[in-house]
Amino acid sequence: MFVTLPRRSRARTAALLALVLLAASACADDTSTAGSGGTVKIGLLASLSGTYQSVGKDIRDGFQLYLSAHDGKLGGRTVELVVADEGNGAATAVPAATKLLKQDRVVALTGIVGGGSVAAVQPLLTETKVPFVGSNGRPELKDVSRVWHTSYLSDEPGEAIAAHVRADVKGSVYAIGPDYQGGWDELRGFTEAYAAAGGKLANPDGKTTFTPFPATTNFTPYFARIKASGADAVYTFYAGGAAVDFVKQYAQSEIKDVPLYAAGFLTEGGVLDAQGDAARDIYSVLNYSPDLDNAENRAFVAAWKAGHDGSPTTYAMASYDAAAVLDRAIAAAGDDATAEKINAAIGQLGQIASPRGTWQFSPTTHAPVQKWYLRQVRQDGRALSNTVVGDLATVGG
Amino acid sequence: MSGVPVDPYVVPALDGVAYGLLVFVAAAGLVLCFGVAGILNLAHGTLFAIGGYTAAALLDGGWGSLALALVVGVGAATAAGALVALLLTRVGAAGHLNQALLTFGVALAGGSLLVAAFGPDDPPVRVPAALDGSVVVAGHRYAAYRLVFIVLAAVLAGLLHLAVRRTRAGMLVRAAVDDAEMVATLGVSPAVVRVGVLAAAGALAGAAGVLGAPIIGPGPDTADAVLLLSLVVVVLGGLGSMTGTLLAALAVGQIQTLGVALAPSAAPFLLFAAMAVVLAVRARGLATARRAT
């Protein structure tokens, strides 16, 4: 008893102390979220570790690039940017988002690489009534009232290039992609629009060939089937390590002279360096290319190259745009920029000038209505780069 | 081109041999450890990854860099194998579960260190310029490097066979498995044999990693993928038989290439379905008659 008694009283003191501290911090919180101090707290959630960390770091850097180009202010208010690690997916994204939304009490959230992470975080957004301006992954969502994306929907790249492939390729096209949600969406976008344009797939059963993901590292057997099908061109979507394997093996395969069309991620960012010469001449469709000729893009690329090796990616561009969206929305929300007011202001933005060209949010999907570009991997100085060779369809909504 | 029905399957079959031999060289080290010396080394895939990353870092398109990468990669993986053996000295006799736990921890730590050192992306691997193209084999285009790799891996397999069967070191290892105490009374410490076996296994994994880097490129997932394939091959091959392992590796290679070409919709489970069938029919793997060869 003698031993436990002081302990208990010590525990009571500690509890009391904790209470006092909690009350103090709650008071402090109240003053900071009122926003009268002129600062505004934004949360950025992105994969800074794990498989997608190169994408996550581009997203973080793209947002910070916009901030530093605007004196660290959005809508005239000094921004306190709280960065958290999304990790590999929902399991790590949810606790990180919970901290940002409930502990840091940010007025807006941005970033998020994975579509699965976005879906898992959405209930938290509904609960805390905080708007989310996503810059990459976009899953199927029922309620988009607080969700906005500056990226694209997964089936849009294929939809945008299908008519061009139909017109360009005399004969049939073989469709192949990875066997997961992202792959299904990307390929469905192409095959549906291609069929609507009167095209016929070279696949023996008329359906896209899906390869086990991420288990497939050797594509040679699939190339043999493509050869046997007599296809005149191939359409595909792969990203990351699978994109490197696919492209390198394609260039040394029996079908190396068959034109390859792809969603832009096949040759975007770091994977292009890994593919090297094997990627030469591949056609891809994307909403951005660093060589687009407009004032916003020239400023963006110049600022990016000042701090990074190489050109910016579409991931960095989308995050840069997310900052631009918040900049205008916070300014429009006025002095008392609450989460609700910022969300309402995003819906009223209209046209947004961007390095990709001007775009706007679709009122139904809350994703961009934007122009897509046909790019080809070509020599650009000493390095290979995705060079714009033409405009494709404007897709969205 | 011609209407012969086997025609589309020539390249997958050839590729299956290249893939099978790569898996064999990678798995041979695990067979040495597990089958021959009774050590379960789950860090084996990481040793392969060390070789792969070395190749990615050093290869510059010339022959000299390939030789250098081979020396450095094999050296580094050998040292890493010996390090695992030293870590295992305390738990070595304590059963496979403890070994598995320790080496799995080493694999996790090693994997993180490799990612920290070489980055999260799959680095590019540049094969010697003379081999960076394709050649026509029986009317089909095939990657030149893979063709050369088949020859190299076959030579490695032959050397390995000779080493285990004909050299004094090979005999000692086989003797240590049969009766460790008897070997100890002959004046050879089983601990030394264990270090030697793990170092040799590391050397094999390193060589496979360097030479196989253009086929199974280095990356954060490489260690797991190679470990899984190697374990499948070791189990299929009958736990300890080099001949069985070779047969199993070639079978795995064909399943992964020809099998996928013949039945693409079954691709996700072909390998493990085949493994289940083999185990159901012959519980001790493909080669059961010949132990420790």
Cα–Cα distance, A281 to B233 (Å, whole number): 39
Q: Helix or strand or coil: residue A45?
A: strand
Are A217 and B124 a contacting pair at CB < 8 A? Answer: no
Residue B88 within any structural domain of the chain = yes
Cα gap B209→B131, rounded to integer Å: 18
* Model confidence, pTM: 0.79
Residue of B nearest to A207 (CA): B265
Asked if the Cβ–Cβ distance from A225 to B122 is below 8 Å, we say no
| Model confidence band, residue B237 (pLDDT cutoffs 50, 70, 90) | confident
Predicted confidence at residue A342, as pLDDT, reads 95
Tokens coding A201: 């797939």
Q: pLDDT category, B235, cuts 50, 70, 90?
A: confident
**Which DSSP helix (H) or strand (E) runs through A333?**
helix A314-333
Domain-located, residue B169: yes
Would you say residue A35 has pLDDT above 60? no
| Whether the predicted pLDDT of A62 surpasses 90 | yes
Domain range for B204 is 9-281
- Among B1, B23, B141, B216, the strongest candidate for a mutation testing the A interface, having the largest count of A CBs within 10 A, is B141
| pLDDT tens digits along A324-346 | 999 999 999 988 889 999 999 99
Q: What is the pLDDT of residues A139-183, one digit of tens each?
A: 888 899 999 999 999 899 999 999 999 999 999 999 999 988 888
List all residues 6 or more positions away from B251 whose beta carbon is below 8 Å from its beta carbon: B20, B236, B274, B286
CB distance A272 to A309 below 8 Å: no
Structure tokens that stand for B214 in this block? 């253009």
Mutate to test the interface with B, among A174, A208, A218, A225 (most CBs of B within 10 A): A218
Structure tokens at A198: 């009167």
Would you place residue A45 in the very low, low, confident or very high pLDDT band (cuts 50, 70, 90)?
Answer: very high
Of B121, B217, B267, the CB nearest to A245: B217
Contact A152, A120 (CB under 8 A): no
Chain B CB contacts of A224 under 8 Å are 8-9, 11-12, 261
Q: Give the gap in angstroms from C-alpha B109 to the nearest C-alpha of chain A.
A: 14
Joined together, the tokens standing for residue A389 give: 């060779």
Query: Could you give the CA distance from residue A67 to residue A87 in angstroms, rounded to a whole number?
Result: 24
Whether B4 maps to a domain, the answer reads: no
DSSP bridge partners of A108: A42
Domain for residue B99, yes or no?
A: yes
What's the half-sphere exposure (Cβ side, CA atoms, 13 Å) at B54?
28
Backbone angles phi, psi at A124, to 5 degrees: -65, -35
What number of helices (H) and strands (E) belong to chain A? 12, 14
Number of domains, chain B: 1
> Is B150 inside any structural domain?
yes
pLDDT of residue A287 exceeding 70: yes
pLDDT, mean of residues A51-62: 89
* Pairing between β-strand A173-178 and β-strand A147-149 as defined by DSSP bridges: unpaired
Give CA separation, B257 vs A23, A50, B14, B16, B22, in Å.
65, 29, 9, 5, 13
pLDDT average, residue stretch B107-119:
90
pLDDT band at A16 (very low <50, low <70, confident <90, very high): very low
pLDDT on residue B234: 86
CATH number at residue B235: 1.10.3470
Residue bearing the bigger pLDDT, B95 or B62:
B62
Of A4-8, A307-311, B45-49, the least confident: A4-8
Which chain A residue has the Cα nearest residue B4?
A228
Structure tokens at A137: 């992954």
Mean pLDDT (chain A, rounded) = 88
Residues of chain A contacting B19 with CB distance shorter than 8 Å: 218
* Chain B environment of A239 (Cβ under 8 Å): none
Residues 6+ away with beta carbon under 8 Å from A15: none
- The reply to whether residue B120 touches residue A50, judged by beta carbons under 8 angstroms, is yes
Q: Which residues of A touch B140 (CB under 8 A)?
A: 254
Which residue has better confidence, B289 or A112?
A112
**Amino acid A36: pLDDT:** 44
Residue A5 has pLDDT above 60, yes or no: no
The answer, yes or no, to whether residue A82 has pLDDT greater than 90, is yes
As a whole number, the mean pLDDT across chain B is 84
Place of tokens 């005999």: B171
Instruction: List pLDDT tens digits, range B2-31.
Output: 444 567 788 888 889 999 999 999 898 888
Confidence of residue A123 (pLDDT cuts 50, 70, 90): very high
C-beta atoms of A276 and B257 within 8 A:
no
pLDDT at B93: 60
Q: What pLDDT, in 10s, does the model give residues B239-248?
A: 667 788 899 9
Interface test with B, best of A174, A220, A222, A223 (most B CBs within 10 A): A220
What SS3 class is residue A390? Answer: strand
Output the six-digit token pair for B187: 């004046």
Task: Express each pLDDT in A243-260 by its tens digit.
Answer: 988 999 999 898 999 999
- Residue B76 or residue B4, greater confidence: B76
Residue A15 has pLDDT above 70, yes or no: no
pLDDT at A193: 95
- Under DSSP, the state recorded for A311 is P
Note the pLDDT of residue A369: 96
Quick one: pLDDT band at residue B132, thresholds 50, 70, 90?
A: confident
Query: Is residue B153 in a domain?
Result: yes
B171-227: pLDDT as tens digits:
887 777 677 778 888 888 877 888 888 899 999 999 999 999 888 878 888 898 899
Res A396: pLDDT? 82
Contact B124 A274 (CB under 8 A): yes
* Residue B287 located in a structural domain: no
Asked if residue B231 belongs to a domain, the reply is: yes
Whether the per-residue pLDDT at B83 is higher than 60: the answer is yes
Provide the H-helix boundaries in chain B.
10-30, 44-58, 63-87, 96-118, 144-166, 168-178, 180-185, 190-212, 222-236, 242-254, 260-262, 270-281
Q: What is the pLDDT of residue B284?
A: 66
Domains of chain A: 39-152+293-366 (3.40.50.2300), 156-286+375-395 (3.40.50.2300)
Residues of A in contact with B267 (CB under 8 A): 211-212, 216
Tokens of A30: 């109240």
Task: Indicate yes or no: CB of B261 within 8 angstroms of CB of A222.
Answer: yes
What does the alpha-carbon distance between residue B241 and residue B239 come to, in Å, rounded to a whole number? 6
Look at the block and give the residue holding tokens 């002129």: A38
Nearest CB partner across the interface for A274, out of B122, B133, B268: B122
Measuring CA to CA, which residue among B37, B38, B16, B35 is closest to residue B237?
Answer: B35
pLDDT of residue A33: 44
Helix axes B44-58, B63-87, angle to 10 degrees: 150
- State the pLDDT at residue B285: 62
Q: Which of A252, A253, A273, A315 to mutate to test the interface with B (most CBs of B within 10 A)?
A: A252
